[in-house]
């Protein structure tokens, strides 16, 4: 039985999600947007590309949540993106209102869906989505770590002239300037990155530069595009999570997941390694963090907590 995948938001990321999911034939697609013409126009355009790429899935556009009823997977990009000079945190007020509307739209129509949230500021928005919707915490997850890890791996692959498929890494913590790239948990052809620094294969200063460029990766693209933010890599990252759920891959991926004591934190969403399979977030993997990694992680979690406090000031329901 084909899966039903609803994409809430048919903008830059939503449209790219729809195209990638169609080409991979992950399921039938409902592209939803308050801008009905945008959803319907992109759905029709992607559908018409099937004559070339040959995919055999249905795709429709709508602005009616009833059309998304009983979705197996929901991927949410509804919200406003950054403009040059804005931080992800500047989007909080506007996108909180939008995510409340989305939560109200999906909680009654698709209570059993696996929900992937992409809207920024990610960690606090996915927390708000879970509180507003009341869906189980293991079935609501945020996409950020896969994107940030992909950026980190890309910069390393260019610096080391190494095919990116030979590089394995994770970026943890909040999806912001305090995110935590993990050189001690990064392997290049099974060699730990910190050992390559010791062997002078890459200098410490160059590695620090790559860590910083990863943290600012989103802002770099926002500045270049002038209007909008990154969408190809975020969409590819969201599809990897959806595929792990749909195919029960039990894949370990860095995602914003609900912590209930793991890493010493409770009742907060943050980027950690999780296993995604048919039951959603099936496990949170607690990797050994050494001193500076743990302190950097704590700084990042505190930044998420501050945003959650700001959100609770906007809507006290979120503070409970
Ligand atoms: O790693 C990550 N998580 C981030 C997330 C990576 C890149 C971008 N990130 C964020 O995703 C970005 O800051 C935004 O908050 C979202 C979506 O970014 P996108 O580039 O797709 O924004 P667009 O192109 O403006 O699309 C947003 C769509 C647009 O078509 C609006 O009409 C629609 O959202 N929208 C709504 N849809 C449904 N319901 C409501 N209420 C609504 N309001 C706006």
Residue where the block lists tokens 């084909």: 2
Mean pLDDT of the chain: 96
120 lines ligand 1 (CB under 6 A): yes
pLDDT score, position 184: 87
* CB proximity list for 265: less than 8 A, separation 6 or greater: 259, 301
pLDDT at site 90: 85
In the residue annotation, 175 being an active-site residue is answered as yes
Residue 82, pLDDT score: 85
Predicted confidence (pLDDT) at residue 320 exceeds the cutoff of 80? no
pTM: 0.97
> Ligand 1 atom closest to Cα of 125?
15
Rounded to an integer, what distance in angstroms lies between the CA atom of residue 75 and that of residue 11?
12
Residue 190 clears pLDDT 90, i.e. is over it? no
* Strands 28-32 vs 4-8: parallel, antiparallel or unpaired: parallel
10 lines ligand 1 (CB under 6 A): yes
Lowest mean pLDDT among 127-131, 180-184, 241-245: 180-184
Which pLDDT band, with edges at 50, 70 and 90, does 85 fall under? Answer: confident
Mean pLDDT of all residues in 149-178: 95
**Percent above pLDDT 90 for the chain:** 91
| Cβ within 8 Å of residue 50, ≥6 positions away | 22, 56
Q: What is the pLDDT of residue 86?
A: 82
Whose CA is closest to atom 18 on ligand 1? 81
For 181, the token pair is 């790239």
pLDDT exceeds cutoff 90 at 283: yes
- Range from 83-87, 140-144, 264-268 carrying the lowest mean pLDDT: 83-87
Beta-sheet strands, E only, within 156-245: 167-168, 171-172, 180-181, 187-188, 191-192
**Ligand 1 close to Cβ of residue 175 (< 6 A):** yes
Q: How far is the CA of 81 from the centre of ligand 1 (A)?
A: 6
Which spans in 72-142 are helix H? 92-107, 122-133
What's the 261 CA to ligand 1 centre distance in angstroms?
31
DSSP 82: P
pLDDT tens-digit readout, 28-63: 999 999 999 999 999 999 999 999 999 999 999 999
Which two structure tokens, joined as six digits, stand for 189? 């052809």
Q: How confident is the model at residue 88 (pLDDT cuts 50, 70, 90)?
A: confident
Instruction: Choose between 174 and 71: higher pLDDT.
Output: 71
Mean pLDDT along residues 85-97: 89
Give the number of residues written for the chain: 320
Of 63-67, 129-133, 151-155, 183-187, the range with the lowest mean pLDDT is 183-187
**Ligand 1 and 65: CB distance under 6 A:** no
Say yes or no to pLDDT of 89 above 90. no
Q: Strand, coil or helix: what is 36?
A: helix
Residue whose structure tokens are 């989305």: 102
Lowest-confidence pick of 83-87, 101-105, 159-163: 83-87
100 preceded by cis ω (within 30°)?
no
User: How far apart are alpha carbons 94 and 217 in whole angstroms?
Assistant: 23
């Amino acid at each position: 039985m084909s899966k039903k995948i609803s994409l809430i938001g048919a903008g830059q990321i939503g449209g790219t999600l729809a195209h990638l999911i169609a080409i991979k034939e992950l399921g039938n697609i409902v592209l939803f947007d308050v801008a009905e013409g945008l959803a319907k126009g992109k759905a029709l355009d992607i559908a018409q590309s099937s004559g070339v790429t040959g995919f055999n899935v249905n795709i429709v556009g709508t602005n009616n949540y009833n059309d998304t009823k009983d979705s197996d997977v929901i991927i949410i990009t509804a919200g406003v993106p950054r403009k040059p000079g804005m931080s992800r945190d500047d989007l909080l007020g506007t996108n909180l209102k939008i995510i409340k509307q989305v939560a109200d739209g999906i909680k009654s129509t698709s209570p059993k869906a696996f929900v992937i949230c992409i809207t920024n500021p990610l960690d606090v928005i996915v927390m708000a989505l879970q509180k507003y919707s009341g869906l189980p915490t293991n079935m609501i997850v945020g996409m950020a770590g896969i994107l940030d890890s992909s950026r980190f791996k890309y910069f390393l692959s260019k610096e080391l002239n190494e095919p990116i498929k030979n590089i394995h890494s994770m970026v943890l913590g909040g999806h912001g300037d305090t995110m935590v790239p993990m050189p001690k948990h990064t392997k290049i052809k099974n060699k730990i990155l910190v050992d390559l620094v010791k062997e002078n294969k890459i200098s410490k200063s160059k590695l620090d530069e790559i860590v910083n460029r990863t943290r600012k990766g989103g802002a770099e693209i926002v500045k270049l595009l002038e209007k909008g933010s990154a969408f190809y890599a975020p969409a590819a990252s969201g599809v990897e999570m959806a595929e792990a759920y749909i195919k029960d891959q039990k894949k370990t991926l860095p995602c914003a997941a609900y912590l209930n004591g793991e890493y010493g934190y409770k009742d907060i969403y943050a980027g950690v390694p999780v296993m995604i399979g048919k039951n959603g977030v099936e496990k949170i993997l607690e990797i050994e963090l050494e001193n500076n990694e743990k302190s950097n992680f704590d700084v990042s979690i505190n930044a998420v907590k501050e945003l959650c406090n700001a959100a609770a000031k906007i809507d006290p329901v979120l503070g409970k």
